[in-house]
Structure 1
Amino acid sequence: MTANSIPAHRVETAVAGADILGETPLWCDRSRKLWWIDIDGRLHQSFDPATGAHHASSYDGQFLGSQALTADGSHLLAQDLRLSRRSSDGVPPGHFCEVENGPDNRLNDGRVDARGRLWIGTMDNQLHRPNGALYRVTGDGQVTRIFGDVIVTNGVAFAPDNRTLYFTDTRQYRTWAFDFDLDHGVIGNRRLFADYSASGERPDGACVDVDGGLWTAFFSGGRIARYRPDGQIDTVIPLPVTNPTCLCFGGDDLKTLYVTTARKFLDPQRLSIEPEAGHLLAIHGVAQGLPEHRFSISGIVDRSSTHARMRS
C-alpha cells in the first residue's frame, strides 16, 4: 500500500519557540490548553489556541523528562529520576516518588493508562548503554519495574481498545507492541511492530487516533508517519524541521495534531536554514485523537467526563 503524503504547506507554527528539546505534548480538556516541556531547558509550557497565549515555567534539576495530567487537575512532572507534582503556576512542585536511582539515567517518555496508572521509562544519558527500563507507577507511589535493557524509552501509547501497549526504544531503532491487560495492569506477548535497525532511523514519541492509527515522530528524520494497527504506514507528513520529537491531538474537537521539535544536535549553519526548529507545530484535520487519561493520585478519580478512570 502506498502511503499518503501531506503537503508541507499544511504544517503551521503554533508557537514560535526555541526549545532545545521540546517533548511530551498533552492536550488538557479542562484548561483547553496544549501543555509540553523543553527537556534540556527544564521548561513546562502551555499554549492557549483561543488567545495565542504562551506561558513557560522553569524548574530545577538537570532534566525535565516528561509530564502527565492528573485527576485532580495538577501535573505530574518527571524531574531527573523522580516524579513531582505541580499544583499551580508559581508553586514549587512537591515530591511524589523516586522511580529509579543509581545508574547515569533520567526519566523520559511515559503515558497514563485508562485505570490512571503511569507507564514511564528511563534512558541512558550517554545514549548508547541499555541502562534504562520501563516502570508502572500507581497513585499511591508504588513503582514496579516491568522490563529493562532499554537505551532510550519513547513512544509509550495505548490502543483505543486498551488491549495493546506500544513501546519504542529510539536508540535500538525499534517499536514493539504488547498485549495489555487493563484490569491487572500487565503486559505480555512482546512482538516487533516496526524495525529501523538496518537504516538507523530514530522513531521517537507517539500517540494514537480514534481509528487505532499510531502516529510517530522521527527524530533526525524530518517527518511524522501514521501506522495502521497491522504495522503498515499509510500516511507520511514531511516537516520543515530535522528533529520532530513527539505529537498529540488537541483542540476542542481533538483534530489538530501538535508536534514538538528540537534544536538540539543542529549546528549554527543548519539552524540558520531551519528557523522552525524548536517551534511547536500544528497540522489540522489529518485525523482525530482521544482524550488523555489522567493519573489517579491517592484514589482521586477523574469523573469530569465519560472517560472517567478508576483507581487500580
Structure 2
Amino acid sequence: MTADPISRSRVETAVASTDILGETPLWCDRSRKLWWIDIDGRLHQSFDPATGAHHVWSYDCQFLGSQALTADGTHLLAQDLSLSRRMFDDAPPARFCEVESGLDNRLNDGRVDARGRLWIGTMDNQLHRPNGSLYRVSADGEVMRLFDGVIVTNGIAFAPDNRTLYFTDTRRYCTWKFDFDLDDGVIRNRRLFADYSASKDRPDGACVDVDGGLWTAFFSGGRVARYRPDGRIDKVIPLPVTNPTCLCFGGCDLKTLFVTTARKFLDRQQLGIEPQAGHLLAIHGVAQGLPEHRVSIDPCGPTPPA
C-alpha cells in the first residue's frame, strides 16, 4: 500500500511558542483548551482556539516530563521522577507519588487508560543506557513496574477497543504492541509493530484516531505518519520543522491534529531556516480523534510516605 501524502501547506502555527522541547499535547474537553509542556523549559501551557489566549506556568524542577488530565479537573505533572497534582491557577503543585528513584532517569511519555490508570515510563538522561521502565500508576498512587530495559519511553497509546497498547522506545527505533486487558490492567504478548533499527528513524509521541489508526511523530524526521492497525502506513504529513515530538486530536469536534515541536539539538543555522521550530502546530481535517481519559484520582489522595 502506498502512503497518501498530505500537503505541507495544510500545516499552520497554532501558537508561536519557543519551546525547547515541546511535548505531551492533550485536549481538555471541559476547558476546551489544548494543554502541553516544554520539558526542558519546565513550562505548562494552555491554548484556547476560540480566543487565541496562550497561558504559561513555570515549575521548579529539572525536567517537566509529562502530564495527564484528572477526573477532578486538576492535572498530574511529571516532575523529574515524581508525579505532582497541579491544582488550579497559581496554586503550588501537591506531591502525588514517587515513581522511581536512584537512577539517572526522568519521567517521560504517559497515557491514561479507560479505567483511569496512568501508564508512564522513564528514560535515561544520557539517551543511550537501558535504564528506563514502564509503570502503571493507580488512582491511589500505587506504582507498579511492568518491564524495564527501556532507553527512552515514548508513544504510549491505547487502541479504541481497549484491547491493544502501543509502546515506543525512541532510541531503540522501534514501536511494539501488546495485548491489553482493560479490566485487570495487564499487558502481554509483546511483538514488533514498526522497526526502524536499520534506518535509525526515531518514532516519538503517538495518539490514535476513531478508526484505530496510530499517528506517530518522527523526531529528527520532519514528519508525522498514520499507521493502520495492521502496521502499514497510509498517510504521511511532511512538516516545516525537523523535530516534531508528539501529537493529539483537539478542537470541539476533535478533528484538528495538534503537533508539538522542539528547538533542541538545532543549531543557529537550522533555526534560521525553521522559524516554526518550537511552535505548536495544527493540521485540520485529517482524521477524528477520541477524548482523552482522565486519571481517577482518589479524593483522599495517596498515603504520604512515613
The TM-score normalised by the length of structure 2 is 0.98
Deviation of residue 96 (structure 1)?
0.1
Q: Which residue of the partner structure matches residue 166 of structure 1?
A: 166
CA RMSD, Structure 1 to Structure 2 (Å): 0.7
Q: Residue 24 of structure 2 aligns with which residue? A: 24
For residues 134 and 269 of structure 1, the distance between their equivalents in structure 2, rounded to whole angstroms, comes to: 37
Please name the residue that 1:263 is paired with: 263
Partner of 2:13: 13
Match in the other structure for 1:307: none
- CA deviation after TM superposition for structure 1 residue 299, in Å: 6.0
Task: Tell me the amino acid that sits aligned with residue 252 of structure 2.
Answer: D
Distance 1:49 1:134 in 2: 33
- What letter is aligned with 2:23? E
SS of 1:130's equivalent? coil
Match of 1:292 in 2: 292
Does 2:219 match 1:219?
Answer: yes
Which residue number corresponds to residue 98 of structure 1?
98
SS of the counterpart of 1:17? coil
Alignment of 1:1-312 (within 5 A): 1-298=1-298
Distance in 2 (CA, whole Å) between partners of 1:202 and 1:31 is: 33
Identical-residue share of aligned pairs (%): 84
Q: Distance in 1 between matches of 2:172 and 2:136?
A: 21
Q: Name the CA distance, whole Å, in 2 between partners of 1:290 and 1:142.
A: 27
SS at match of 1:109: strand
Gaps (5+ residues) in structure 1?
A: 301-312
DSSP 3-state at the match of 1:269: helix
**Per-residue deviation at 1:89?**
1.4
The separation in 2 between residues aligned to 1:274 and 1:11, in whole angstroms, is 14
Q: Secondary structure at the match of 1:197?
A: coil
Q: What amino acid does structure 1 have at the position aligned with 2:71?
A: A
Query: Given that residues 139 and 299 in structure 1 are in contact (C-alpha distance below 8 angstroms), is that contact kept between their aligned partners in structure 2?
Result: no
Q: Give 3-state SS (helix, strand or coil) of 1:270's partner.
A: helix
Q: CA deviation at 1:269?
A: 0.4
User: 1:273 and 1:156 mapped to 2: Cα distance?
Assistant: 31
For these two proteins, the number of residue pairs brought into alignment is 300
Cα distance in 2 for residues equivalent to 1:100 and 1:270: 36
1:238 Cα shift?
0.0
Mapped to 1, the partners of 2:46 and 2:33 lie a distance apart of 6
Shift of 1:147: 0.2
Flag the 1:299–1:232 CA change in 2: closer, same or farther, 3 A. farther
The equivalent of 2:304 in structure 1 is: none
TM-score by length of 1: 0.96
Offset from partner CA, 1:202-231 (integer Å, 9 cap, x none): 000000000000000000000000000000
Determine helix, strand or coil for the equivalent of 2:210.
coil
Within 2, Cα distance between the matches of 1:89 and 1:297?
19
